[in-house]
């Protein structure tokens, strides 16, 4: 413990986690962020950290991503906490090769030619296969998954070393510009993440192009590093605009997961515990987190909403969730899910 006035610094046994406290109040916690070279040793450490559920930033040819094991709901929740994202947008999952991508998604015929652009600055959105183990927080409860095979050699080596699908949004605090160098990530998120794998400067420097499909054919969901012209040349047809024109901001999907049941929020004394989702101790058929842990609640959110909805109940009630930290994104999503359907 190091005293500095009335604030002091506590390090944990391994010296990794620091807490800045005053009296018995925690002011801030931080961890030592390792900046790892993208050689075999550094890549191995980064892969081990990911396997342990830690957050590791790594470069792709588009931008640096904030990576977590996509099959670990708590690790994915930590991505949102680290970015300070006020809402749960679905995340892109990164894999090393086409076999790994095809194991996750059922790619419609109309999108297949585009796999010629993989590895590269392209993300494809398609129905997720059953039993992939992808945490429901990754898709934000949607039946589709966004998948990308990055070309950057460091990213490729990391994905091969982990052997796991890695969920990664751009490695910046919400509202900041996307990082194209390890130093940008260190300046923004140093002290908040376990490690940054320095895979060099991003050669594209612009996020991936996102393409999905509806019944009409391939749809451009986000312009990016792969030009519309090259995608269209590969397809031999123009890319369509998305049908739902109600998107107000990037990442604001109109196709958000919405349960069939009517949701009532902030219910402290449920009339019917059999259709109640609790948070912390208390009655309820489901519990987002018996210990009132917001990361655990985030990790469980979409699974429990789906489970409760699958009972066919006309109404589901949910306990109040605190608004701080990850609670902001949880409440954002619950408010949308509870809004009257259009
Ligand atoms: O270049 C990139 O794409 C970078 C690197 C790290 O791969 N990643 C990135 O992620 O830009 P992010 O989280 O900042 O943006 C992901 C976008 C969001 O706008 C999200 O709405 C969209 O992907 N997305 C993810 N899953 C989707 C889905 N199932 N349907 C439609 N859009 C989806
Ligand atoms: Mg972003």
* Residue range 108-123: mean pLDDT, rounded: 98
Atom 31, ligand 1: residue with shortest CA distance? 125
How far away, in angstroms, is 91 Cα from ligand 1 center? 5
* Residue range 231-238: mean pLDDT, rounded: 96
Reported confidence tier of residue 341, pLDDT bands at 50, 70, 90: low
Position 98 pLDDT exceeds 90: yes
* Residue 61 dihedral angles phi and psi, to the nearest 5°: -70, -15
Atom 15, ligand 1: residue with shortest CA distance? 169
List alpha helices for 174-264, DSSP H. 182-189, 228-235
In percent, the amount of the chain with pLDDT more than 70 equals: 87
Residue 39, CB-side half-sphere exposure with 13 Å CA sphere: 2
Whether a cis peptide bond, with omega within 30° of 0, leads into 102 is no
Reported confidence tier of residue 251, pLDDT bands at 50, 70, 90: very low
List alpha helices for the chain, DSSP H. 40-51, 73-83, 98-104, 136-139, 153-162, 182-189, 228-235, 294-310, 327-338
| End-to-end Cα spacing for the chain | 56
Q: Could you tell me if 235 and 227 are in contact, meaning their C-beta atoms sit under 8 angstroms apart?
A: no
Q: Could you tell me if 100 and 216 are in contact, meaning their C-beta atoms sit under 8 angstroms apart?
A: no
How many beta carbons lie within 10 A of that of residue 76, not counting itself?
Answer: 25
Q: Could you tell me if 280 and 291 are in contact, meaning their C-beta atoms sit under 8 angstroms apart?
A: yes
More confident position, 238 or 206: 238
24-81: per-residue pLDDT in tens? 665 556 788 999 999 999 999 999 999 999 999 999 999 999 999 999 999 999 999 9
Q: What is the pLDDT of residue 35?
A: 96
Alpha-carbon span 229 to 285, nearest angstrom: 52
Summary mean pLDDT of the chain: 89
Contact 206 CB / ligand 1 (< 6 Å): no
Q: Could you tell me if 185 and 171 are in contact, meaning their C-beta atoms sit under 8 angstroms apart?
A: yes
Long-range contacts of 116-120 (CB under 8 A, 24+ apart): 116/234, 117/226, 117/230, 117/231, 117/234, 118/148, 118/149, 119/149, 119/150, 119/151, 119/156, 120/61, 120/149, 120/150, 120/151, 120/225, 120/226
Q: What is the pLDDT of residue 175?
A: 82
How far away, in angstroms, is 23 Cα from ligand 2 center? 38
- What's the angle, vertex CA 39, arms to CA 165 and CA 97, rounded to 5? 30
Position 5 pLDDT exceeds 80: no
Q: What is the pLDDT of residue 16?
A: 54
145-161: per-residue pLDDT in tens? 999 999 999 999 999 99
Contact 170 CB / ligand 1 (< 6 Å): yes
Q: Could you tell me if 232 and 113 are in contact, meaning their C-beta atoms sit under 8 angstroms apart?
A: no
- Nearest ligand 1 atom, CA 146: 26
Position 271 pLDDT exceeds 60: yes
How far away, in angstroms, is 255 Cα from ligand 2 center? 19
Helix axis angle for 327-338 and 294-310, nearest 10°, is: 20
* Residue range 308-325: mean pLDDT, rounded: 94
Q: What is the pLDDT of residue 147?
A: 98
Contact 168 CB / ligand 1 (< 6 Å): yes
Q: What's this model's pTM, rounded to 2 decimal places?
A: 0.86
274-308: per-residue pLDDT in tens? 999 999 999 999 999 999 999 999 999 988 998 99
How far away, in angstroms, is 169 Cα from ligand 2 center? 6
Q: What is the pLDDT of residue 206?
A: 87
Nearest Cα residue to 326 out of 80, 140, 89: 80
Q: What is the pLDDT of residue 248?
A: 41
Position 244 pLDDT exceeds 70: no
Alpha-carbon span 60 to 96, nearest angstrom: 12
Long-range contacts of 109-113 (CB under 8 A, 24+ apart): 110/213, 110/217, 110/218, 110/235, 111/211, 111/212, 111/213, 111/218, 113/234, 113/235, 113/236
Contact 210 CB / ligand 1 (< 6 Å): yes
More confident position, 326 or 16: 326
Q: What is the pLDDT of residue 72?
A: 97
Q: What is the pLDDT of residue 281?
A: 95
How far away, in angstroms, is 203 Cα from ligand 2 center? 17
Alpha-carbon span 299 to 197, nearest angstrom: 25
Contact 33 CB / ligand 1 (< 6 Å): no
* Residue 154 dihedral angles phi and psi, to the nearest 5°: -65, -40
* Residue range 206-225: mean pLDDT, rounded: 92
Position 20 pLDDT exceeds 60: no
How far away, in angstroms, is 178 Cα from ligand 2 center? 6
Reported confidence tier of residue 4, pLDDT bands at 50, 70, 90: very low
């Amino acid at each position: 413990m190091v005293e500095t006035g009335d604030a002091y610094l506590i390090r944990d046994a391994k010296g990794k986690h620091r807490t800045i406290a005053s009296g018995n109040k925690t002011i801030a916690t931080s961890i030592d962020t390792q900046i790892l070279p993208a050689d075999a040793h550094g890549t191995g450490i980064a892969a081990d950290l990911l396997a342990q559920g830690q957050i590791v930033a790594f470069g792709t040819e588009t931008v640096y991503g904030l990576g977590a094991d996509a099959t670990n709901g708590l690790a994915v929740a930590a991505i949102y906490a680290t970015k300070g994202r006020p809402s749960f947008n679905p995340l892109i999952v990164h894999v090393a090769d086409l076999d790994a991508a095809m194991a996750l998604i059922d790619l419609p015929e109309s999108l297949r030619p585009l796999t010629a652009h993989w590895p590269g600055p392209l993300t494809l959105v398609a129905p997720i296969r059953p039993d992939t183990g992808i945490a429901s927080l990754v898709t934000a409860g949607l039946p589709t998954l966004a998948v990308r095979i990055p070309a950057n050699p460091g990213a490729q080596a990391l994905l091969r070393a982990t052997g796991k699908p890695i969920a990664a949004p751009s490695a910046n605090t919400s509202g900041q510009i996307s990082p194209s160098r390890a130093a940008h990530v260190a300046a923004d998120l140093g002290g908040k993440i376990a490690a940054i794998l320095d895979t060099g400067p991003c050669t594209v420097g612009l996020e991936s192009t996102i393409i999905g499909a509806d019944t009409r054919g391939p749809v451009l969901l986000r312009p990016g590093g792969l030009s519309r012209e090259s995608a269209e040349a590969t397809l031999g047809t123009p890319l369509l605009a998305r049908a739902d024109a109600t998107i107000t901001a990037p990442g604001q999907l109109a196709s958000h997961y919405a349960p069939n049941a009517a949701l009532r929020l902030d219910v402290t004394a449920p009339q019917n515990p059999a259709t109640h989702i609790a948070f912390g101790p208390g009655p309820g058929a489901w519990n987002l987190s018996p210990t009132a842990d917001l990361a655990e609640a985030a990790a469980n959110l979409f699974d429990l909403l789906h489970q409760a909805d699958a009972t066919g109940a006309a109404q589901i009630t949910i306990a109040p969730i605190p608004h701080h930290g990850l609670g902001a994104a949880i409440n954002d999503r619950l408010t949308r899910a509870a809004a009257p359907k259009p």
